[in-house]
Copies of this chain bind each other. A is one copy, B any other.
């Protein structure tokens, strides 16, 4: 359960995004998705639900939301971006290479390792991304 169906407009306002009907539709559709979706998938699903949202609006909304940190952008398909409604806190992702399931990893005990690895090359780490690829319970 990625996010509660209720409170989506609060989620927007908390991030200084005006809660318009279209944006709520996009967000609601995102909240329905367990894994991740492309902008085009999201758009066609909205169409099926008789939303009048245009493709440009879907892209604009997703760009806005990712900028605000409300959605994560995964580019594991090279050339096509995938979006996912995620928690606010720092987290990583677990990807099933077979069914493309996406699961959040909440616990990241990697800060020390990251800082040390960075320091070793004269860097100061400001952020890090980890993706674990594997097989989920259903696909094993």
A residues in contact (CB < 8 Å) with B: 73, 75, 78-79, 81, 92, 94, 96-97, 103, 105, 107, 109-110, 113-114, 117-118, 120-137, 140
Contacts and interface: CB of A to CB of B under 8 A. Distances in A.
A132 B123 contact: yes
B114 A132 contact: yes
10 contacts: A73-B78, A79-B81, A105-B117, A105-B120, A110-B110, A121-B136, A122-B137, A124-B140, A128-B131, A129-B133
A138 to B, nearest CB: 8
**Chain multiplicity (copies):** 2
A134 B127 contact: yes
A110 B113 contact: yes
